[in-house]
Structure 1
């Protein structure tokens, strides 16, 4: 049974990757192209200014760029779709394994509801919470000297968010029998929000956006990136839930049977 769910998770991941690629290509690439144009313009202006005052070389010589290892067309086409599909397929396999563990342990939730709950859990903990503190930046935004630190902190926020979610679920299960599902859910949600709010408040912030960079362009890029993740997780919740339901709901196997499969 686990193998069957894993196959469905991989299939869902590939479909989610293709849909995410389509969204990214439609809504994410235009801001990226404009950001790259801004970066090239700033680099050209910087080289021209430096050469005119220091070396006396021509503008054409200053504008000459090193050859690209991978062309922009490949990056935006084959490279993008390959990266997105491989990532989403791997995530789909992980999602299927988590589903196999959670199915039957979330009360009376059936397969579709379980998948939707897990997808919402993943979207909030892995996408929404980190986005609130360290939203993605397009080309021309970000200080290379702080890249390593920002990367570490980004994944640190994800780890803290998952830990806060695990603690909240534990509290919900503990308080459910004493206070009822509604009160237990309020306690769990308050715990999750409070822990994440405290963590995000204490972590350092970075303001690496150039003054001349368009605020609307930055907003468009970040919303497009957020939308790609929303498409990804929505596909997991809806498509995997439908596939898993067809596999599991016919005979409604017990949790023990699922674990042995």
Structure 2
């Protein structure tokens, strides 16, 4: 793949990331922010400390701050995903541009978010010990790195087993390897149970579902939009010749 094609896909990946970020912003505003407000209200009602004035108001956080964060993240995410697409194209099977984009986004969602999320799920305000914040952050990103590396190793393993086992059996064997190693990581990495006893379980469940919904929206929308844009770069349709029959287009004009 030449540098011009990579550049075109990179730009389109960033545009697709921006579009996906807009959709994720809508989901976040209507599903996530109400849960955050409820968690903050719970935290304030159970806190005996009174801080000073807020540097950034809650209104600004839930509007301008939220939009800036998600849209910037969407553009950066789209660019990185587009580069990964350029590397993976042709190495993950004989799929078209759209199918490859959707397959890559699905695999990315599982490896980058779902697998780490199941071990270290998102927590709303008032949940989590501040003293373990750094440790939890490091472990979450460690889980992300491990999951991505395992996903790459799973693809390589599946391709190497395919000639001897067949595609179906090789896929099952590679998938079993991924699940086994992830399960071992879940078992040996430390866990945290820092939910206050009186914190509403329904609110915690709704918050985590909202966080998952935002990521599903982001990755799915990116896969669909980027697949369409990538197809126009990699498999452009021939120009139409309207008003002419095939014989007329094939017959040269005499002078």
Report the TM-score, using the length of structure 2 for normalisation: 0.89
| Equivalent-residue separation in structure 2 for 1:107 and 1:166 (angstroms) | 14
Q: Which runs of 4+ in 1 moved over 2 A?
A: none
CA contact (8 A) 2:92 2:155 kept: no
Residue 127 of structure 2 corresponds to residue 141 of structure 1 = yes
After the TM superposition, which residues 1-261 of structure 1 pair with which residues of structure 2 at under 5 Å, given as runs? 1-43=5-47, 46-47=48-49, 64-250=50-236
More off after superposition, 88-97 vs 103-112:
103-112
Q: Report the alpha carbon displacement of residue 9 of structure 1 after superposing the two structures with TM.
A: 0.4
- RMSD between superposed Cα atoms in Å: 1.3
| Equivalent-residue separation in structure 1 for 2:91 and 2:118 (angstroms) | 30
CA contact (8 A) 2:20 2:217 kept: yes
Q: Report the alpha carbon displacement of residue 106 of structure 1 after superposing the two structures with TM.
A: 2.1
- Higher-helix-fraction structure: 1
| Equivalent-residue separation in structure 2 for 1:135 and 1:191 (angstroms) | 23
Q: Report the alpha carbon displacement of residue 251 of structure 1 after superposing the two structures with TM.
A: 7.4
CA deviation digits over 1:93-142, x for unaligned, max 9? Answer: 01111111111222211101110111011100111101111001000111
CA deviation digits over 1:217-239, x for unaligned, max 9? Answer: 00000000000000000012111
CA deviation digits over 1:178-206, x for unaligned, max 9? Answer: 11110110011001111101101111111
| Equivalent-residue separation in structure 1 for 2:189 and 2:67 (angstroms) | 33
| Equivalent-residue separation in structure 2 for 1:171 and 1:78 (angstroms) | 45
Report the TM-score, using the length of structure 1 for normalisation: 0.87
